Amino acid sequence: MTAVVVSGAGRVFDGGSDAGTVALTDVDLTVGEGELVSLIGPSGCGKSTLLRLIADLDAPTSGSVAVFGKTAERARKDQDYGIAFQQAGLLPWRSVRANVELPMQLRGGAGQRGKSGQPNKAERAARSAELLALVGLTDFADHRPHQLSGGMQQRVAIARALARSPRLLLMDEPFGALDEMTRERLQDELLRIRATTGAAVVFVTHSIAEAVYLSDCVVVMSPRPGRVVATLDVPLGTPADRAARGIGLREDPAYFERVSAVREALHSGDAASDRVPT
Amino acid sequence: MSRQWQGSGKRLGPALAGAAGVLALVAAWEAYKALVPDDGWVLGEVRVLPRTTDVAMPHLWDMAARAAEPLTSAPDSPPLWLVTLQGAGFTLGVSAVGWVAGVVFGLLVAVLMARFVPARAGLLPWVVLSQTVPLIAIAPLVKRWGAQLEVGTFDWQDWMSVAVIASYLAFFPVSVGALRGFTSPDADADGVRLDLFRAYGVGWWTTFWRLRAPSSVPYLLPALRLAAANAVVGTVVAEVSTGLRGGLGRMIVEFGASASADPAKQWSPIAGAVLVGLAATGLVALVALGLRRYRVGEAA
Ligand SMILES: Nc1ncnc2c1ncn2[C@@H]1O[C@H](COP(=O)(O)OP(=O)(O)O)[C@@H](O)[C@H]1O
Ligand SMILES: [Mg+2]
């Protein structure tokens, strides 16, 4: 089953007296099971808005969004996806471990309760230990968030997003606030996590290199009004292959070729939008 | 090692500063008495500095000596300091009841305002207005209303009226501070935490208990401290204006009436009021200690 199907989605924000902001118009997007799709474009082009529509944190003013064949609202209430933002948003009064366990402690909607109930304390502890090992923070389980660096906090946020073993991961510039070194390390980590979990990912970024390195498919967007201008495949191998190749992949000519292709698409998208009369 | 030093220094700092403050106050009192003439300073018709006679400003050691003597000349009279301590205990108890009632009421009002946005617009002006009613004016009213109250075997006591007035002053900072705290996740980190809770598909109350309430602690603690000070002041003033016996308020008035004959006596209940204030501050510090997990700000 496809993870996400967005068809003809638009979002207009009320702007008080004037006509309002057209953040998105007529967006179509399909994310297959286990696929990693990046949304890339200049800031203000509606990437976050599109991600929030998929997450049902916001509703489209036209068109529709389906997640695993359900409405976005049903999928949210069933905790079908995990989500991470640019800000880690950890709860400062909880330990790292307790932060990771948070989504497992909170009751989802009625559907969730009916199906499997909540994981008990022992199950939660086992799961958080597993996830902290996955993001390399086992030794920090009892630390508090303020004792961690920005990169470590972001890894906790990713572990938390994975807590309920979602088959869909939504990420809005999760590495945007990190330095280049940490960023590349976390990109490799994300590839490894993908290889282990097989989850589909919608990944928002404004870094061309990051989008190409991580994605099966890069969706290029342009601003005013936000829309999809190109969809490019990135056939650079499975996530496990990529993670194994690491720096080798970042220096591969095939990788550079895709980077150029995305860059061209971005710039032609800009040019196209410049031609639109205002 | 150096960290531990820093830690204990941090804890010792306020205590040292407090002791230094008290010493400075003592020195200022006696220095003023020594330097300014008995009749104060009069410029033309106006006295710009108060008198320093032993009636107006007794020596601190005279106050201490008076506290050690019996309350009255009656043969079995207890010492003044003991009576003062008992009065301080009474006032502290009434203040504590008023504080707890005010905190509970203030939190309820804040939850209501956080939960229902229309309630916020409707209630907040009234919360602010409530504090412009003069305390002296409402104290006798509350006492009269209380006296008319009769529910089964429950009998309204006069001290309850005083506690109600204390709570009336205590609830205000709590409701305002708690509201700010409860709504702080709306702005924190672009509201990311609220987005997360929404993504978990949980309702308002779960979000409240797990996110809004813990987030409110850094805003709530200063409000609790302010509420404690308000409760003590409210209790003493209400004791005076309702004429309640047993507390420091009444003592200050009574001893003040005989000040020309026994000037050092009234300073004992005044010192007692300071003690009550310190005890109240200490109790709130204990609450803060219990909530210290929630006081950590977010780094980076
Ligand atoms: N809540 C909102 N209210 C009004 N306008 C908004 C809101 N959220 C986003 N916008 C507008 O929608 C456009 C797209 O925003 P966003 O999706 O955040 O862009 P991106 O994530 O690509 O930088 C911007 O012009 C922004 O100002
Ligand atoms: Mg964005």
Q: What is the pLDDT of residues B84-110, one digit of tens each?
A: 899 999 999 999 999 999 999 999 999
Do the Cβ atoms of B100 and B224 come closer than 8 Å?
no
* pLDDT tens-place string over residues A205-260: 989 999 999 999 999 998 888 899 989 999 888 888 888 888 888 888 999 999 99
B211 close to A (CB below 8 A): yes
Residue A112 has what pLDDT? Answer: 44
- Asked whether residue A85 is assigned to any structural domain, the reply reads no
pLDDT in tens, B36-62: 888 888 888 888 888 888 888 888 888
How far A158 CA sits from the closest chain B CA (Å)?
Answer: 12
CA B108 to centroid of chain Cα atoms: 20
Atom of ligand 1 nearest to the CA of A11: 12
Which one of A53, A74, A85, A104 would you mutate to disrupt binding with B, by most B Cβ within 10 Å of its Cβ? A85
| Residue B10 pLDDT grade (very low, low, confident, very high; cuts 50, 70, 90) | low
The tens digit of pLDDT for each residue in B67-82 reads: 888 888 888 888 888 8
Percentage of residues in chain B having pLDDT higher than 90: 41
Q: Where are the domains of chain B?
A: 1-57, 59-294
| Within a domain: A149 | yes
Pairing label, strands B41-43, B46-49: antiparallel
Give the Å distance between the CA of A160 and the centre of ligand 2.
Answer: 21
Which chain A positions have a beta carbon within 8 Å of B196's beta carbon?
A: 83, 89
Distance in Å, CA A22 to ligand 1 centroid = 9
- Give the pLDDT confidence score for residue A114 in this predicted structure: 43
Residues 65-104 of A with CB under 8 A from B: 76-79, 81, 83, 85, 87, 89-93, 102-103
Q: Domain end: A109, A139, A165, which one?
A: A165
Nearest to A55 among B199, B294, B300 (CB): B199
Nearest-CB residue to B196 (from A77, A78, A83)? A83
- What is the rounded distance in angstroms from the CA atom of residue B127 to the CA atom of residue B119? 12
Pocket test of ligand 1: the residue of A11, A18, A21, A61 to mutate, having most ligand atoms within 8 Å of its CB, is: A21
- Please tell me whether residues A46 and A175 are part of one structural domain: yes
- Nearest ligand to the C-alpha of residue A16? 1
pLDDT for the residue numbered A249: 87
Q: Are A23 and A156 in a shared domain?
A: no
Beta strand pairing call for A200-205 and A217-222:
unpaired
- Is there an atom of ligand 1 within 6 Å of A9 CB? no
Domain boundary among A114, A145, A165: A165
Kind of pairing between the strands at A62-67 and A4-13: antiparallel
Domain boundary among A142, A165, A188: A165
B280-to-B164, B166, B285 alpha-carbon distances in Å: 17, 13, 9
Closest CA to A85 of A45, A55, A120: A55
Q: Pinpoint the alpha helices (H) of chain A.
A: 47-54, 72-77, 96-105, 110-115, 121-134, 150-161, 180-197, 208-214, 239-245, 247-250, 253-275
User: So what's the ipTM on this one?
Assistant: 0.90
| Total number of domains in chain A | 2
Q: Would you say residue A177 lies in a domain? A: yes
pLDDT tens digits, residue range A39-82?
Answer: 999 988 999 999 999 999 999 999 999 999 999 999 999 889 99
Asked if A133 and A115 sit in the same domain, the reply is yes
Q: Are residues A142 and A63 in the same domain?
A: no
What is the band of A178 on the pLDDT scale with cuts at 50, 70, 90? confident
What percent of chain A clears pLDDT 70, i.e. is strictly above it?
91
Ligand 1 touching residue A86 (CB < 6 A): no
Chain B residues touching A90 at Cβ < 8 A:
298
Q: Is the pLDDT at B213 greater than 50, yes or no?
A: yes
- Could you say which ligand is closest to the alpha carbon of residue A22? 1
Ligand 1 pocket member A231 (CB < 6 A): no
CATH number at residue A16: 3.40.50.300
Does A118 lie at the interface with B, CB-CB under 8 angstroms? no
Report d(CA A31, CA B31) in Å as an integer: 82
Do A78 and A111 form a contact (C-beta atoms < 8 A)? yes
Q: Which residues are within 8 A (CB) of B223 and not within 5 positions of it... i.e. 6 or more apart?
A: B106, B173, B174, B176, B177, B178
Residues A75 and A192 in one domain: yes
- Shared domain for A130 and A265, answered yes or no, is no
Mean per-residue pLDDT for A114-143?
A: 85
User: Is the distance from CB of A31 to CB of A200 less than 8 angstroms?
Assistant: yes
Residue ID of nearest Cα to ligand 1 atom 17: A46
pLDDT of residue B74: 81
- Asked if the Cβ–Cβ distance from A89 to B192 is below 8 Å, we say yes
Instruction: Classify B59-294 by CATH class.
Output: mainly alpha
Ligand lying closest to the C-alpha of residue A12: 1
Arithmetic mean of pLDDT over chain B: 86
Angle between helices A121-134 and A150-161 (to 10 degrees): 130
Residue A116: per-residue pLDDT: 55
SS3 B31: helix
Residues A36 and A62 in one domain: yes
Task: Supply the range of the domain harboring residue A117.
Answer: 91-165
A182 and A266 within one domain: yes
Rg over alpha carbons for chain B, rounded to the nearest Å, is 24
Ligand 1 close to Cβ of residue A11 (< 6 A): no
The alpha-carbon gap from B285 to the nearest alpha carbon of chain A, in Å, equals 19
pLDDT higher for B106 or A134? B106
Instruction: Find the mean pLDDT for residues B112-136.
Output: 85
Q: Given strand A168-172, what is the order of strands in its sheet?
A: A81-84, A168-172, A200-205, A36-40, A217-222, A227-233
DSSP assignment string, B33-87? HHHS-TT-EEETTEEEE---STTTS--HHHHHHHHHSBSSSSTTPPBHHHHHHHH
Domain shared by A76 and A102, yes or no: no
Residues B273-277, mean pLDDT to the nearest whole number: 91
Residues of chain A with C-beta less than 8 angstroms from the C-beta of B197 = 106
Are B200 and A108 in contact (CB < 8 Å)?
yes
Does the pLDDT of residue B9 top 60, yes or no?
no
> Residue A275: which residues within 8 A CB-CB, separation 6 or more?
none
**Interval B182-204: pLDDT, tens:** 999 998 777 899 999 999 999 99
Residue type, A69: G
Please check whether residues A64 and A194 belong to one and the same domain.
yes
Residue B168 has pLDDT above 80, yes or no: yes
DSSP character string of B2-14: HHHHHHHHHHHHH
Which residues lie below 8 Å from residue A147, measured CB to CB, with a gap of 6+? Answer: A140, B299
Atom of ligand 1 nearest to the CA of A49: 17
**What was the pLDDT predicted at B183?**
94
The verdict on the CB of residue A131 being under 6 Å from ligand 1 is no
| Cβ of A21 below 6 Å from ligand 1 | yes
- Are A69 and A135 in a shared domain? no
pLDDT at A113 over 50: no
CA of B248 to the centre of ligand 1 (A): 61
pLDDT recorded at residue A271: 62
Give residue A111's pLDDT band: very low, low, confident or very high (50, 70, 90). Answer: very low
- The percentage of residues in chain B with a pLDDT greater than 70, rounded to a whole number, is 95
User: So what's the pLDDT on residue B258?
Assistant: 83
Residue A117 sits in the same domain as residue A195 = no
Asked, for residue A258, whether it belongs to a domain, the answer is yes
Give the pLDDT confidence score for residue B4 in this predicted structure.
46
Residue B222 Cα, gap to closest chain A Cα (Å): 18
Does A106 lie at the interface with B, CB-CB under 8 angstroms?
yes
Confidence (pLDDT) at A17: 62
- pLDDT band for B299, please (50, 70, 90 cuts): very low
Q: Which ligand is nearest to the CA of A49?
A: 1
Beta bridge partners of A227: A222
Residue A13, number of CB atoms within 10 A of its CB: 12
